Amino acid sequence: MTGTKDISFTKMTGTGNDFIVFDNRKAFFSGEETDFFARVCRRRVSVGADGVLLVEEGQSAPVRMRYFNSDGREAAMCGNGARCAGFFARAKKCVDADTFLLEASDGVHLLRVNGNEVSLKMRKPEGFRSGYGILRESGFVEGGFVDTGVPHYVIFVQDVDEVAVEKVAPFYRDHRVFPQGVNVDFVERTGEDRIRVRTYERGVEGETLSCGTGCVASTLFAARTFGYRSPVTVVTRGGDLTVGFDDALEDVFLTGRVEIVYEGVLPMTLETG
């Protein structure tokens, strides 16, 4: 037999990167609800979002975030998602302080909530590599690969508005040099401390208005390749983020605005009996 249960949710956005957030402190969701997560993320026919966030009690931190892409599959990390989860945890009084630790699949992160501005300390970037020699388009300049919680391939371009992201990016996203697939970031340098970024995200399989880990990856390659100094303003189609970093490119902070869009309930089919 089957039945339905109304599940409360919160729709949130971090500079245009939008999420459906569930308070999962009572462990209602196991994380195996792939079809349900994918279904509620579909735009025009459901709530619509880039992904789902489960906010839970942590084991090594007061709060734990689990992130699921819009295909319903769990991913290691999402920078904007973590900032939204942290804001949610503070707003719902899961924590009492404005500065606290948040656990994610890629480790424990420091979070600071200041009104609607949320700052997240990223995991130490790993796997910097350049020189793949796979660029096909004239005018593109390779930054390279780095894992900032999820893998990214950074490409510098003259004008991000002129890039047909959804046509160009899949070639790199699925290229054989990235066996697990990769997010693709197109970066335009607009000043000594300012860049513009558009990101094609795997799992979403399309461009998002903002990608926190992508903004970090893009900034780090701007620093490595062109000597950018901290902090750097990153302009996305969803808003501005700030990336701060040390000279070794190891201590990295992502800061930007977070908002609750609305709250509601969703019916979920349950097996009974």
Q: What is the pLDDT of residue 4?
A: 84
Mean pLDDT throughout 166-177?
Answer: 98
> What are the catalytic residues?
78, 211
Mean pLDDT throughout 101-121?
Answer: 96
Q: What is the pLDDT of residue 271?
A: 58
Note the pTM of the prediction, 2 decimals.
Answer: 0.94
Mean pLDDT throughout 85-109?
Answer: 96
Of 175 and 272, more confident: 175
Q: What is the pLDDT of residue 171?
A: 98
What tens digit of pLDDT does each residue of 41-80 get? Answer: 999 999 999 999 999 999 999 999 999 999 999 998 999 9
Q: What is the pLDDT of residue 268?
A: 82
How many CB atoms are closer than 10 A to CB 175? 15
What tens digit of pLDDT does each residue of 200-246 get? Answer: 999 999 999 999 999 999 999 999 999 999 999 999 999 999 999 99
Q: CB of 128 within 8 A of CB of 144?
A: yes
pLDDT of residue 182 exceeding 70? yes
Domains annotated for the chain, with CATH where assigned, are 2-123+258-271 (3.10.310.10), 126-250 (3.10.310.10)
pLDDT of residue 273 exceeding 70? no
Mean pLDDT throughout 127-133?
Answer: 97
Average pLDDT, the chain: 95
DSSP string spanning the chain? -EEEEEEEEEEEEETTEEEEEEE-TT----S--HHHHHHHH-TTTSS--SEEEEEEE-SSSSEEEEEEETTS-EES--HHHHHHHHHHHHHTTS-SSSEEEEEETTEEEEEEEETTEEEEEPPPPEEEE-------STT-EEEEEEESSSEEEEEE-S-GGG--HHHHHHHHHT-TTSTT--EEEEEEEEETTEEEEEEEETTTTEEES--HHHHHHHHHHHHHHH---S-EEEEETTEEEEEEE-TTS-SEEEEEEEEEEEEEEEEEEEE--
